[in-house]
């Protein structure tokens, strides 16, 4: 399987980002994982791994571990603290750290001092092919799993969405309690007005 070779061109759109974890998905800013997520979104993959973190990439069913010797453009090298995008079997690009920003170099140099890493290849669905000379991207249809199931699984893997869902449910419960309380108060009020305590 070819993975995502078009991702190499896509991340170039963000090659001038400034490193920031706090502002990682804002325009002009990224950290190592959001840098690759932005590239994925640019080629039409709407839902990168939940939360867009290194651990989310490592746990994602859309990425499969491959031998280091099989690494090719569009694959990733990742561990719990850092990740880069392979541009060939031996080179990569990645958002590095404060005051360094996006760099290219050998895979080993860009991953140095971060510990052992895995090489992974995209095996998900909903890949888009893009021509970055014109900026056009054309989505390719899903092959095995319907988009709604793929997106639902990825949405559920983002713990931020759990919090949001919990807040919506809590708000609905509080509203329900308020409505029931209002109806009881109204019923008591009617009874008092009609002389029935």
pLDDT tens for 84-116 read 999 999 999 999 999 999 999 999 999 999 999
State the pLDDT confidence band at 189, using cuts at 50, 70 and 90: low
State the pLDDT confidence band at 4, using cuts at 50, 70 and 90: very high
Number of domains in the chain: 2
Q: Write down the pTM of the prediction.
A: 0.65
Instruction: Looking at the structure, tell me whether residues 98 and 129 fall in a common domain.
Output: yes
Examine the pLDDT at 72 and tell me if it is beyond 70: yes
Task: Render pLDDT for 155-171 as a digit per residue (tens, 0 to 9).
Answer: 555 555 555 566 668 77
Examine the pLDDT at 9 and tell me if it is beyond 90: yes
The DSSP call for residue 122 is E
Asked if residue 47 belongs to a domain, the reply is yes
Instruction: Looking at the structure, tell me whether residues 37 and 133 fall in a common domain.
Output: yes
Instruction: Looking at the structure, tell me whether residues 114 and 188 fall in a common domain.
Output: no
Asked if residue 152 belongs to a domain, the reply is no
Asked if residue 153 belongs to a domain, the reply is no
Pure H helices in the chain: 6-11, 32-42, 54-59, 107-111, 147-156, 159-193
Asked if residue 74 belongs to a domain, the reply is yes
Asked if residue 119 belongs to a domain, the reply is yes
Contact 153, 33 (CB under 8 A): no
Instruction: Looking at the structure, tell me whether residues 114 and 176 fall in a common domain.
Output: no
Residue 162 pLDDT: 59
Instruction: Tell how far CA 9 is from the center of its chain.
Output: 18
Average of per-residue pLDDT values in the chain:
80
Instruction: Looking at the structure, tell me whether residues 186 and 130 fall in a common domain.
Output: no
Instruction: Looking at the structure, tell me whether residues 131 and 182 fall in a common domain.
Output: no
Instruction: Looking at the structure, tell me whether residues 129 and 81 fall in a common domain.
Output: yes
Residue 31, domain extent = 6-144
What is the rounded CA–CA span in Å between residue 20 and residue 17? Answer: 9
User: Which domain CATH number covers 50?
Assistant: 3.90.1720.10
Contact 75, 87 (CB under 8 A): no
The total number of residues shown for the chain amounts to 197
- Which has the closest alpha carbon to 34: 53, 11, 56? 53
> Three-class SS of residue 82?
coil
Task: Render pLDDT for 29-51 as a digit per residue (tens, 0 to 9).
Answer: 999 999 999 999 999 998 888 88
108 beta partners:
none
The predicted model gives 1-20 an average pLDDT of 92
List Cβ neighbours of 182 (8 Å cut-off, separation of 6 or more): none
Instruction: Looking at the structure, tell me whether residues 96 and 130 fall in a common domain.
Output: yes
What is the rounded CA–CA span in Å between residue 90 and residue 87? Answer: 8
Q: Which of these ranges, 18-27, 66-75, 129-138, has the smallest mean pLDDT?
A: 129-138
Residue 175 pLDDT: 76
Instruction: Looking at the structure, tell me whether residues 26 and 109 fall in a common domain.
Output: yes
Instruction: Looking at the structure, tell me whether residues 69 and 14 fall in a common domain.
Output: yes
Residue 2 pLDDT: 66
Task: Render pLDDT for 112-165 as a digit per residue (tens, 0 to 9).
Answer: 999 999 999 999 876 544 443 334 444 333 333 344 444 455 555 555 555 556
Residue 149 pLDDT: 46
């Amino acid at each position: 399987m070819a993975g995502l070779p078009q991702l190499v061109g896509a991340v170039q759109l963000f090659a001038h980002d400034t490193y920031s974890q706090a502002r990682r998905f804002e325009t002009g800013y990224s950290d190592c994982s959001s840098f690759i997520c932005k590239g994925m979104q640019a080629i039409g993959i709407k839902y990168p791994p939940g939360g867009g973190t290194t651990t989310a990439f490592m746990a994602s069913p859309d990425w499969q571990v491959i031998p280091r010797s099989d690494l090719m453009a569009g694959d990733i090298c990742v561990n719990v603290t850092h990740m880069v995008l392979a541009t060939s079997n031996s080179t990569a690009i990645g958002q590095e750290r404060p005051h360094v920003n996006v760099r290219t170099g050998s895979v080993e140099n860009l991953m140095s001092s971060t510990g052992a890493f895995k090489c992974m290849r995209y095996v998900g669905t909903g890949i888009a092919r893009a021509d970055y000379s014109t900026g056009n991207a054309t989505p390719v249809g899903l092959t095995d799993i319907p988009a709604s199931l793929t997106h639902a699984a990825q949405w559920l893997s983002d713990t931020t969405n759990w919090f949001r869902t919990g807040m919506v449910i809590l708000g609905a419960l509080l509203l329900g309690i308020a409505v029931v309380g209002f109806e009881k108060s109204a019923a008591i009020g009617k009874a008092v007005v009609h002389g029935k305590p």
